[in-house]
């Protein structure tokens, strides 16, 4: 009981401190250490038994080729599932730290808000956590706090290649990650093109819902068994499943509102927007806001990417799990928020206060939704109360 209370207090303290000391390196390391302890020594959550049984070969039919490969390496060395989880979480949290540090100086803020929500979910959903990490890494290769100027098409070959490699690795660990290849559109094209593509995909996905064309195309890219098991989850559902879908639509809407509010305030500081230069990879430095060209380019990318990720709405009719499309992008959104909240950014103070309030309150709402949505005993409480390092 004592250590459970300690974990609750540490959780709250780290989140609050990250909002105050947003660029503190020691605090960032402390958050990563807390994440590692609560991940590597986690137990008793909703999916722990599923992944554990798969590791010991009881049933690994639902695993992607990447996880089967990792499981084979560790089990071949005689390591237990606990050892695998400890090493896996350490390596992937290190990659996450590296990725966030490439995107922003305010690493503590981004990690703290991610810890607030939805980290507890990702401790349960190991495959999805792998996607979050590689998506963050991939984005950091495209845009970031110090990315050099790349005006010529040839200069984009390396970042695009590294992005593609990262998403490919994520796809080996979770097939749904393949959808993030579309984020090359807001990187390579401007706002108008991104908007048109979003509209076409949005309408097209709704129209294709009544055909088998998308399922057929998906089978050509991904294993047919995975496509058939996932892409038909949105059909022939009962009242209970319909209510669950509506609940997740509310979930997505709340995330979307958050990201669009972020984009709105980012646009307010995007000096290049007025001149139509938002389509360039790196915008010129803006002396009015004290935001570098690299940061403005990051904000521009995030704004366009959030519009494109609206396609998660029609995709939910194919699989309810695809609500995570925008959730997995939250770390990137938080990095964009952190630029506006910097003291040296001359955005109006009320903009900063309102933006921070929206960011925190939406995260609080989503955490509240997680706790009241039937996940208290399977996700939230096990995160604090079932840690084997402290006798849980």
Residue 321: is it exposed, middle or buried by C-beta count within 10 angstroms (0-12/13-18/19+)?
middle
Q: Return the bridge partners of 277, or none.
A: none
Higher per-residue pLDDT: 320 or 115? 115
Q: For the chain, what is the mean pLDDT? A: 83
Domain parsing of the chain, residue ranges: 2-390
**pLDDT recorded at residue 263:** 63
**pLDDT recorded at residue 146:** 66
Residue 41 has pLDDT above 90, yes or no: yes
Nearest to 16 by CA among 123, 94, 108: 108
Print burial letters for 213-239: b (CB count within 10 Å at least 16), e (below 16): ebbeebbeebeeeebeebbebbeeeee
Question: pLDDT of 332-365, one tens digit each?
Answer: 999 988 988 888 777 678 878 888 988 898 888 8
**In this predicted structure, which of 17-31, 76-90, 138-152, 186-200 has the lowest mean pLDDT?**
138-152
Nearest to 326 by CA among 242, 259, 227: 259
Give the percent of the chain with pLDDT over 90: 49
**In this predicted structure, which of 55-59, 233-237, 290-294, 369-373 has the lowest mean pLDDT?**
233-237
The SS3 call for residue 286 is: strand
The radius of gyration computed from the CA coordinates of the chain, to the nearest angstrom, equals: 21
Distances (CA, A) of 290 to 20, 68, 302: 21, 48, 19
Average pLDDT on 136-148 reads 85
């Amino acid at each position: 009981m004592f250590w459970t209370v300690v974990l609750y207090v540490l959780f709250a303290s780290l989140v609050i401190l990250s909002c105050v000391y947003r660029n503190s390196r020691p605090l960032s390391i402390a958050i990563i250490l807390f994440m590692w302890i609560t991940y590597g020594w986690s137990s008793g959550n909703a999916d722990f038994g599923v992944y554990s049984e798969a590791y010991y070969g009881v049933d690994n039919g639902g695993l992607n080729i990447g996880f089967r490969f990792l499981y084979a390496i560790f089990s071949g060395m005689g390591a237990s599932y606990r050892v695998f989880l400890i090493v896996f979480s350490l390596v992937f949290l290190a990659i996450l730290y590296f990725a966030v540090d490439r995107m922003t100086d305010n690493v503590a803020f981004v990690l703290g808000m991610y810890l607030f929500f939805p980290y507890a979910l990702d401790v349960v959903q190991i495959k999805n956590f792998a996607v979050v990490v590689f998506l963050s890494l991939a984005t950091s290769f495209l845009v970031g706090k110090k990315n050099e100027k790349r005006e010529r098409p040839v200069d984009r070959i390396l970042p695009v290649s590294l992005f593609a490699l990262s998403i490919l690795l994520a796809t080996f660990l979770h097939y749904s990650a393949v959808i993030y290849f579309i984020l090359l559109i807001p990187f390579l094209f401007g706002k108008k093109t991104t908007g048109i593509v979003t509209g076409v995909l949005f309408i097209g996905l709704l129209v294709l819902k009544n055909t088998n064309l998308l399922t057929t195309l998906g089978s050509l890219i991904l294993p047919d068994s995975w496509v058939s098991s996932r892409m038909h989850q949105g059909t022939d559902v009962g009242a209970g499943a319909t209510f669950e879908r509506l609940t997740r639509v509310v979930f997505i809407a709340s995330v979307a509102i958050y990201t669009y509010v972020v984009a709105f305030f980012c646009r307010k500081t995007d000096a290049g927007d007025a001149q139509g230069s938002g389509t360039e990879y790196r915008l010129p430095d803006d002396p009015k806001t004290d935001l570098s060209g690299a940061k403005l380019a990051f904000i521009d990318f995030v704004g366009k990417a959030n519009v494109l990720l609206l396609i998660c709405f029609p995709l939910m009719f194919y699989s309810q799990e695809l609500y995570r499309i925008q959730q997995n992008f939250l770390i990137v959104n938080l990095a964009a928020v952190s630029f506006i909240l910097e003291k040296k950014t001359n955005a109006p103070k009320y903009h900063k206060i309102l933006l921070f309030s929206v960011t925190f309150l939406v995260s609080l709402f989503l955490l509240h939704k997680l706790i009241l949505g039937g996940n208290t005993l399977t996700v939230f409480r096990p995160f604090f109360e079932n840690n084997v390092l402290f006798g849980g």
